[in-house]
Amino acid sequence: MADLVVVGAAETKFGKLDGSFRDLAVEAAVAALADAGVPASQVDAMYLGTFSPGTFVHQEHPAPLVASMLGLSHVPTTRTENACASGSTAFLQGLMAVASGMCDTVLVIGAEKMTSTPIEETTQILAEAADWESEALAGATFPSLFALMARRHMHQFGTTRDHLSAVAIKNHHNACRNPYAQFHREITAGDIAAAAMIADPLTLYDCSPVTDGAAAVVITSGERAVDLGGDAVRVLGFGQASDSLSLFRREDMTSLTAARKAAGRAYAMAGLNPSDVSFAEVHDCFTIAEVIATEDLGFFPHGEGGPAAFAGETALDGRIPVNPSGGLKGKGHPVGATGVSQVVESVFQIRGTAGERQVANARVGLTHNVGGSGATCVVTLLGK
């Protein structure tokens, strides 16, 4: 595998923000370029991961718009869309552009502005990433699709309310230690029990929120990184896989085959095993999704992710810290930005600059970003 490194990483604060879509994308990109010590004139290509700026803020064709605001000089610009995995898809395209030798230095941005539309409209825009004819038209939304997965996991493995709550409590706790996070509020099992039911068994605190935000990274070759002299983080492996868009067509609702395949490809490329991973940023769009992710990634056997979370094995000081950033649940989920933000957090952790949420001995980080209910999955492995 080519010697690929991330030399710059930055993100905006996540939440309900005043900044526009373009402002957020530019803010993250300028900060990532500054972190890398790379001037805009040295960027060879730009990839922008974003899910639906056309419906959220009436702006299609956003990649050249953002590039021109950044002063990138007529470089190729490409927007990637893979639902909530749009950002990690952009990251993989950037990696392949450098690996192919076509580009020396690539800027990757993920951005989404989700709070401009009323919640009913936002929910429908998101549901359009499910199968419109067989799921969304029948009334399914992402909370309800993940609720079905939760029910099945509970039925098959005995996963409980307390197991799911442990994920939400942990991720809110970690987010309190992340200045970029949307929520800085510890929650308790009592808060969860008293919260509004969104899609039974998922309450408000089982759901990631609606969020504005952007994240950006600068990728180059190991050789160029030496010249730049910054604190580079190596890309050890990556994998992407797909599956049926609709949940009902899958053989198993308690595991994402795309995640298992993507993870298998990333581990094989890196020559690593799940036991080599020091921490993981996983796609906890709903609490059940984190439980399933920790099983699909090989951290725990199938069906044992819930008890492991409840026992503290995924806590900041646990055996395998999961979502030290606060995850989608606590940090927020601006869908197109999330995959890039997971890489940004991994860079901070591996550099040892994650502050109060720093994982001890963070040598190898894994990111797991899911589109839809599991139709797209991207996994990356990063390390020193």
Which residues are at the interface with ligand COA (CB under 6 A)?
Answer: 84, 119, 123, 126, 142-143, 198, 204-205, 207-210, 285, 333
Instruction: Choose, from 84, 207, 285, 377, the residue flagged as catalytic.
Output: 84
Task: Report the nearest approach of ligand COA to the CB of residue 88 (Å).
Answer: 14
Whichever of 5 and 328 has its CB closer to ligand COA, that residue is 328
Task: Report the nearest approach of ligand COA to the CB of residue 130 (Å).
Answer: 9
For residues 297 and 282, the answer to whether their CB atoms sit within 8 Å is yes
Task: Report the nearest approach of ligand COA to the CB of residue 259 (Å).
Answer: 14
Whichever of 261 and 331 has its CB closer to ligand COA, that residue is 331
Q: Give the HSE-up count for residue 266: Cα atoms under 13 Å, Cβ half-sphere.
A: 33
Whichever of 94 and 336 has its CB closer to ligand COA, that residue is 336
Task: Report the nearest approach of ligand COA to the CB of residue 118 (Å).
Answer: 8
377 has catalytic annotation:
no
In whole angstroms, give the CA distance from residue 147 to residue 287: 10
Please report, to the nearest 10 degrees, the dihedral formed by the alpha carbons of residues 240, 353, 333, 216 taken in order.
Answer: -60
For residues 201 and 147, the answer to whether their CB atoms sit within 8 Å is yes
Report how far apart the first and last C-alpha atoms of the chain are (Å, whole number): 16
Q: Under 8 Å CB-to-CB from 182, ≥6 apart: which residues?
A: 14, 15, 16, 175, 209, 211, 213, 330, 331, 332
283 has catalytic annotation:
no
For residues 266 and 379, the answer to whether their CB atoms sit within 8 Å is yes
Instruction: Choose, from 285, 333, 368, 377, the residue flagged as catalytic.
Output: 333
In whole angstroms, give the CA distance from residue 352 to residue 363: 9
For the chain, helix, strand, coil in percent to 5 are: 45, 20, 35
Task: Report the nearest approach of ligand COA to the CB of residue 349 (Å).
Answer: 24
Whichever of 84 and 288 has its CB closer to ligand COA, that residue is 84
Whichever of 186 and 227 has its CB closer to ligand COA, that residue is 186
Residue positions annotated with a catalytic role: 84, 333
